[in-house]
Amino acid sequence: MPGAAESTPLKLLRTAVRGANGQGALHANAAVDADISLQWFEPRYWLTRDAVVGRRGGRRGVVLVVEDAGHRYVLRHYRRGGLAARFIHDDYLWLGESRTRSLAELQLLMRMHADGLPVPRPVAARYEQSGLAYRADLITEYIPETETLADRLAAGDLGLSTWKAIGRCIRRFHDYGLCHADLNAHNILLRGEEEVFLIDFDRGSRRGPGLWRDANIARLRRSLDALEDKRSQPRFGETEWQVLLAAWF
């Protein structure tokens, strides 16, 4: 839980950078054996190398899956969601390096990965500051043979054992004190029938027990209901939800 003794400190390598839009820094996970450079955060770099092997769309734009030296990575550019996205696409207010969303998520992921939670291995983050604004990106390792819960439901029904595994996975994060700021069907990955991962921890945080856990679950239910409303054939209902809740409790 938050405030408990942490395990071995995790090491970040910081490099000051000057990009096309301003100055900033690249922070890399020292445990990752890869020659990470500023180019890694530019989609054009991967496109010209014909190294883009997948794309995943979402409310916050396209996420690229790229390949280097036989390893696959996920490149995500931070984009605004909600009402703000109508006016500001990817600029955030500069409040200092430690407050950048990419570095905060990288550090949170490093801790969770080191503590054995089912999350992608964090690779690197960067930000570029220009005046009072900054833009940011994050790179994580690709988790092979996975699909989002949303994609799996689009393809067919899920067995009750999978819904139970999802509930248990969320409970594990909640027992860890992890509040996921956007728990929805697109941020849950499935591999096989009972292996579950969570992704996208932007604005995530560790907290003590509280009603935020119920809010996380309620957000997931709204996401699943919204997807179900668009389908002609039912894939999710009260039976599946009760199985998930029983495992979560």
By the 8 A CB rule, do 20 and 115 touch?
no
Cβ neighbours for 158, distance < 8 A, ≥ 6 positions apart: 152, 235, 236, 240
Distance CA 234, CA 176 (A): 33
User: pLDDT by residue (tens digit) across 88-105?
Assistant: 678 999 999 999 999 999
By the 8 A CB rule, do 71 and 141 touch?
yes
Confidence (pLDDT) at 60:
60
Q: What is the CATH number of domain 147-248?
A: 1.10.510.10
Distance CA 188, CA 190 (A): 7
Residue showing tokens 């207010």: 93
| Local structure of residue 71 (DSSP, 8 states) | E
Report the largest interatomic distance among the alpha carbons of the chain, rounded to a whole angstrom.
Answer: 53
Give residue limits of the domains in the chain: 12-141, 147-248
Reading the block at residue 210, the tokens are 């509280």
Q: Is the dihedral of CA 38, 44, 47, 53 positive or negative?
A: positive
Confidence (pLDDT) at 82:
53
182 as an active site residue: the answer is yes
User: pLDDT by residue (tens digit) across 125-174?
Assistant: 999 999 999 999 999 999 999 999 999 999 999 999 999 999 999 999 99
Catalytic entry in 182, 200, 214, 229: 182
